Chains A and B, each alone.
Chain A
């Protein structure tokens, strides 16, 4: 059982809709991540939050808007998505943001499978 909880598990939306993906962890982790994963491919990093502040944006289009309301929650707001945005969106967390040689294994949720019509 994963300790990172993502909702919803599945989401179908049109290109003009606005929706949000939610991620929650209660492990006291201070870094949280959003990844996008296409079928048969490894996850691709989108955003990193460290201590509730956005620290990394991997050149993600602005139709994806992350938000970290508190240390346990991470949202991904979606607006005007394209069909190619259909994918599995994974949230992860680690105890601390990785700095130098520190080991900060990332723990993943089960993801939200997003389909854009």
Chain B
């Protein structure tokens, strides 16, 4: 089946690194995405990774994928107060072929000054 899980809450100090974790169950997943949602806003696509990659880096963001353990993480370096938001991981499973993204429950990141 298709299921994506995330921890619900993470609190860090400004300047520290944040690591948000995600696990998924569909081993046929091809693309995995990270979205950010600020209060009152829609979802902003942060980054994505193809399942044949182990790592992707984009400025302060590093995505790590362990396909064997079906584990995905998003690391935010030098976390700022503007990074406070809900972060959703999502998978696009080819079996669905419908455009249906399977989202995790979202991790609320709180950044303390």
A and B interact physically: yes
Residues on A lying within 8 angstroms of B by beta carbon are 2, 4, 6, 31, 33, 40-43, 45, 48, 50, 55-56, 58, 90, 92, 94, 97-101, 103-111, 113
Given A105-B45, A108-B44, verify A45-B94 contact (CB < 8 Å): no
Contact residue among B50, B94, B99 (Cβ-Cβ distance under 8 Å from A48): B99
Q: Are B94 and A31 in contact (CB under 8 A)?
A: no
Q: Which B residues lie within 8 Å of A107 (CB)?
A: 45
Count of chain B residues near A, Cβ 8 A? 25
Given pairs A98-B92, A105-B31, A105-B45, 20 additional interface contacts (CB within 8 A): A2-B44, A33-B99, A42-B105, A45-B98, A45-B99, A45-B100, A48-B100, A55-B98, A90-B43, A94-B99, A98-B97, A99-B97, A100-B94, A103-B48, A103-B92, A104-B92, A105-B33, A106-B45, A106-B99, A110-B40
Residues on B lying within 8 angstroms of A by beta carbon are 30-31, 33, 35, 40-45, 48, 50, 88, 90, 92, 94, 97-101, 103-106
Q: Which B residues lie within 8 Å of A45 (CB)?
A: 98-101
* Binding site secondary structure of chain A: loop
Contact residue among A100, A105, A108 (Cβ-Cβ distance under 8 Å from B48): A105
Q: Which B residues lie within 8 Å of A98 (CB)?
A: 92, 97-99
Q: Are B88 and A42 in contact (CB under 8 A)?
A: yes
Q: Which B residues lie within 8 Å of A94 (CB)?
A: 99
Q: Which A residues lie within 8 Å of B92 (CB)?
A: 98, 103-104
Contact residue among B40, B98, B101, B106 (Cβ-Cβ distance under 8 Å from A106): B101
A99 to B31, CA, bound (A): 12
